[in-house]
Amino acid sequence: MADQGLVKETACAVVEKLKAGDVTPLDLLDVLEQRIAEVDRKVNALPTLCFDRARTHAKALMQKPVGERGLLAGLPVPIKDLTAVSGVLTTLGSPIFKDNIPAKSDILVEQLEQSGGVIYAKSNTPEFGAGANTFNEVFGPTRNPWDTSRSAAGSSGGAAAALASGTAWLAHGSDMGGSLRNPASFCGIVGLRPSIGRVAHTPKFGVDRTLGVQGPMARNVEDLALLLDAMSGEHAADPLSLPALPTSFLSATCSGKTPKRIAYSPDLGITPVDPEVKAVTRKAAERFAEAGAIVEEAHPDFREAHECFHVLRAFDFAISKAELLRTKRDLLKPEVIWNIEEGLKLTVEKLERAEAQRVAMTQRALEFFDKYDLLLAPATIVPPFPVENRYVAECDGKKFDNYVEWLGIVYAITLACCPALSLPCGFTASGLPVGLQMIAKPRAEAQLLAGAKVLEDILGVRGTTPIDPRPPR
């Protein structure tokens, strides 16, 4: 019988058990298969399972000495359904690809498997990752384990819900406009958008697409760092990829290094924020003072963020999906059609302006980090909303112009090329999780993770997941 007590263990603890020979990768797959059967129908986090492939891989891994099984030593990891896994259904959340089985894995998957990860499932995502609520016409919606009437956010909503409900110890996700940070916030787990190039992936449609990055999700900061270590490293097939650093992210996380000066902003100067979210994140940020840090209210100037992101995102959709619009329009959801059409209408002058705006915002952020070690802000501007709502239409009295504008507090950071994570920092009065966005200068993930661990220890929210999915209240 699979030991279901393992579900509540941290990823780091489970890896230690693997290395000590106390459990095997096959034992862990048995645990997950049973847990998924018990809870996943309530949340729909992992709609595609590949346990036969996982067990074949696990058995091959177990032929090696324990010391040669990689950083993860056989720990199972689910992959977001936007990323190819060889021989496994990969739908991108779209009816167009509902029968798509890639012959070759993305290099990110290959890297994880080389690091001892065992792929056992694909996590749910909105169509093409478009939108911060995880639903699609192939598998339906993913529900929030804290309240199954609520959204898990997106686009890595399946990954976040799996972590929160105990069907994953670690999970892969990706982030363009907050897709690692939003679901982490809604589901009470940790999600990191790394710097451009930190995690290699197979380039598609363009070598230099830098709005979207791949990254790790976990239930706590140390586990997050472990997965980032397993994901990181350069690869010739990804010309933007960075070499692995000499010091592991996990050791940097556990260094105890405390940031000296921290900025908190309730809104980055560009967006409305729900008053309760504002209050919870401010209170959490101020607790950094308990570690001796100076906490001040400040933020870089992000005034061009909405215009800039709208243009660059639309351009990215045009170069990656215009062919689908021409040939499969009737199978695309309205938001995706809108994004592609916005991109096809762009002029070179608009692109020129948006690229200049991004350069300016990045430069101002770099100057800001000359004074501050970290910038803190809400990770999402609202608590988890009803799963039936396609997106947030208004907040604190302001109506939004389109379905992505409510994400400005995260996509401003995307544009500034900064690594950022969402850390669980408290709960609303109704018991729903709130995430604090923590941001560092480009390529300073080690500093960011160390600071996040210090605050995580102060807040004491670690260990609130996994939970059994909870019915609507």
Are the beta carbons of 216 and 184 closer than 8 angstroms?
no
Catalytic site residue 155? yes
Q: How far apart are CA 264 and CA 446, in angstroms?
A: 20
Q: Which of 94, 123, 151, 155 is catalytic?
A: 155
- Is 149 in the active site? no
Q: Which two tokens stand for residue 41?
A: 């129908």
| Dist. CA 18–CA 143, nearest whole Å | 31
Separation in Å, CA 51 to CA 55, 122, 270: 6, 11, 45
DSSP reduced 3-state for 91: coil
Give me the amino acid identity at 310.
Answer: H
- 422 given a catalytic annotation: no
Distance of alpha carbon 123 from alpha carbon 242, whole angstroms: 26
- CA–CA separation, 71 and 384 (whole Å): 34
Which residue among the candidates 179, 185, 265, 320 is catalytic per the annotation? 179
Determine the distance from the C-alpha atom of residue 23 to the mean position of all C-alpha atoms in its chain, rounded to a whole number. Answer: 28
Tokens of 400: 């939004």
The active-site residue, picked from 80, 333, 441, 453, is 80
Query: How far is the CA of 462 from the CAs of 51, 218, 269, in angstroms?
Result: 29, 11, 30
Helical axes 25-43 vs 51-61, angle rounded to 10°: 160
d(CA 313, CA 326): 19
**Number of neighbours of residue 330 by Cβ within 10 angstroms:** 8
Active site residues: 80, 155, 179
